[in-house]
Chain A
Amino acid sequence: MPADLHRIPPDPHAARSASFEAHVLPHLDAAYNLARWLARDDADAQDVAQEAMLRAFRYFDSFHGGDARVWLLAIVRNTYYSLRMKTPPDALHETFDDEVHTLVDEQPSPEARTLIAMDIGSLQAALENLPHPLREAIVLRELEECSYKEIASITGQKIGTVMSRLARARERLKAELTRHSTEARRHDVQ
């Protein structure tokens, strides 16, 4: 009995699916995490992640090796901004002027470090309050542990821009956290 009877001819579609599963699916958490921090809402984040995965599947042919996570995260980011077109135009053109968001005046505060360390709830709120361009940079850097080069490639920015946005994001987080706690403390005293 000829052995090749059992050999099913290669199915290009199945091969593509298998390759997608091997390269892209492992980054589903990363895709959702970025979508969730951008959208700040569970349902919206699911929509964005789902749509981004479908786009990734559809355009998988255009993925020519390299880092699948960076490729997917760029799709997630684009998907988020394109789906946001549905929201009012005011929110849509949230332009970000790097000059306006200059470095916050830092006040040396002895307890700053403990405050930053302790309060996860405030940290989360502070992160959600950052403007999108700063938030995506810090989430990619701190949560996804992307390098500056990877962030630049995901967001389509220069490395210098990535660096200054990260600096601003951290300074604002720190300022917000210390402000929160000083307010809280004042409140306690009264």
Chain B
Amino acid sequence: MMCNDARLLVHAYLDDELDAAQSVAITRHMQGCASCAANYADYVQLHKSLKQPSLYRRAPSALREQWSTSTSMPAPSRNRVTVRRAPTALAMAAGFAAALLLAAPLWVYTSSQRNAETNQVIGEAVSSHIRSMQPEHLMDVVSTDQHTVKPWFDGKLDFSPKVKDLAGEGFPLVGGRLDALDGHSVAALIYKRHLHIINLYQWPDSSAASSEEASQWRGYNVIRWTASNMRYVAVSDVNEGELQQFVLAFQNDAATPPMR
């Protein structure tokens, strides 16, 4: 073996990536070649030095907490706890009330099913929000004018989204985008709050109007509500109070029913 070959192979030898024949060849070469042997010793030392624990950067606690088991997984939403408890309570009641005996399993099933669906929507909405932050993904129509943004959705969706500029309340409208959530085509409106982005998703939903539910997912705040047969999900990294303020501002005129 020549020194030139050894120079490359010495690394694979150090990494224990050579087959037996090559290993024998390189050890033989090093026995006869002081310079290659010295080189090898240097790299062994380098290899050891790189093992120093301070070179290995462990995940900071903030990141770890965000993903750790205790706080993790879908939406530590306030509702979740009550929904989860309900089946147990119902099941106990069922033991006493024969009438409930048949109904209870159905309840257990539907409530946990709904819970899963809800979590999925939150998860998807947050993912979509994050995707939207990547370059070139945020907006299909860029405009601060609600009268430009609203007509832009015409013909692209089978419903007409509610579009409102909230610049007066400190949440200027910056544009809109088509997106998909939970298997629906949805309208996404993009608002700004200082340097933060708020994505507001909406799509038709026939379920009854509901008050808003706030939750957090991976450090993002999510508020969902249903009004006038539309489902709304607002996602942002602004704090919950500010997002709440945004939702109130958006709902504001909904409080005075639209003229029909």
Interface positions of A (Cβ within 8 A of B): 1-2, 4-6, 8-9, 11-14, 17-18, 21, 25, 28-29, 31-33, 36-37, 42, 45-46, 49-51, 53-54, 58, 82-83, 85-86, 103, 106, 108, 112-113, 116-117, 120, 123-124, 127, 138, 141-143, 147-148, 163-164, 166-167, 170, 173-174
Q: Does B127 contact A (CB under 8 A)?
A: yes
Q: Is the CB of A117 within 8 A of B45?
A: yes
Given A113-B45, A170-B43, A13:B74 Cβ within 8 A: yes
Instruction: Offer 17 A-B interface pairs, CB within 8 angstroms, sorted by A.
Output: A2-B101, A5-B108, A6-B88, A6-B91, A21-B72, A33-B59, A37-B57, A49-B59, A50-B218, A58-B127, A85-B135, A120-B52, A123-B50, A166-B11, A167-B8, A170-B46, A174-B43
Q: Is the CB of A112 within 8 A of B42?
A: yes
For the complex, give the distance between the alpha carbons of A28 and B218 in Å.
15
Q: Is the CB of B62 within 8 A of A46?
A: yes
Tell me what chain A mostly uses at the interface: helix, strand, loop, or mixed.
helix
Chain B residues positioned under 8 Å from A138 (CB to CB): 50
Q: Is the CB of B135 within 8 A of A86?
A: yes
For the complex, give the distance between the alpha carbons of A120 and B12 in Å.
24
A-B contact count (CB 8 A): 138
For the complex, give the distance between the alpha carbons of A171 and B207 in Å.
66
Q: Is the CB of A32 within 8 A of B12?
A: no
Chain B stretch 33-63: residues in CB contact (< 8 A) with chain A: 35, 38-39, 41-43, 45-52, 54-60, 62-63
